[in-house]
Structure 1
Amino acid sequence: MISFLQVIFIIAIIGMAVALVIASYRIIKGPTLHDKIVALDAFGVMLMGTIGIFSVLLDTPYLIVVIMIIGMLGAVGTIAMAKFLEKGWVIDHDRDPDD
């Protein structure tokens, strides 16, 4: 017998899947690069939420590590892309402290 809580989790997973598809469309067809980066960041957050729901549904704590890795990669990727859009490069090779 499926409990009420499991039904709620399944509905949440379906909702997250729809949101992931919409974010994927925005990543592919975004009018500007800024829209694509924001959609990619939102995709990462929604993916972490979906994995969190699966972690609770499967009653396993091991997926929390996957959520943390996706979060760290998403944050670093968003910062790198923002720096690239602002300055045109990500890593500054000129380390002159006088500038």
Structure 2
Amino acid sequence: MTGIDVALAGLGVAFLLGLIRTAIGPTVADRAVGADVCLFTLVAVFGLMGVRSGSEMFLDVVLVATLLGFLATVALARLVGKRGDQ
């Protein structure tokens, strides 16, 4: 078992915790944080898979997913700011 395998296991736990926060979050902001944790955990998994395989294709996936996650977070923050946290 390599260090990458240990990191992937830790990221799996982080992803599950993010899913739990997304499912039971009492507010929209809690659900947004949980979804961000899930997304960026997946980005880290893709990055580690790229390191493991030595493929540069994963870098493109990481860049696109990070950009989309950032834009979604900004859009949700604007929506919550206008509506208030419910």
TM-score normalised to the size of structure 2?
0.89
Q: Which amino acid aligns with 1:50?
A: V
Backbone CA RMSD of aligned residues = 1.1
Written as runs of structure 1 = structure 2, the 5 A alignment for 1:2-81 is 7-81=2-76
Q: Give the match's secondary structure for 1:50.
A: helix
Structure 2: give runs of 5+ residues left out of the alignment.
Answer: none
Q: How many Å apart are 1:46 and its aligned residue?
A: 1.4
Percent of pairs with identical residues: 25
Cα shift readout 1:28-51 (whole Å, capped 9, x = no counterpart): 111111111111112222111111
Greater helix proportion: 2
Give the aligned length. 83
- Compute the displacement of 1:75 (Å): 0.6
- Residue 79 of structure 1 and its aligned partner are, at CA, apart by 0.6
> Secondary structure of 1:60's partner?
coil
Instruction: Indicate the structure (1 or 2) with the bigger Cα radius of gyration.
Output: 1
Residue 11 of structure 1 deviates from its aligned partner by: 0.7
CA distance in structure 2 between the aligned counterparts of 1:47 and 1:26, rounded to whole angstroms: 16
- Please give the TM-score of this superposition, normalised by the length of structure 1: 0.78
User: 2 CA distance for matches of 1:36 and 1:42?
Assistant: 10
List per-residue Cα deviations over 1:31-90 (Å, max 9, x = no partner).
Answer: 1111111111122221111110110011111111110111011011001111111114xx
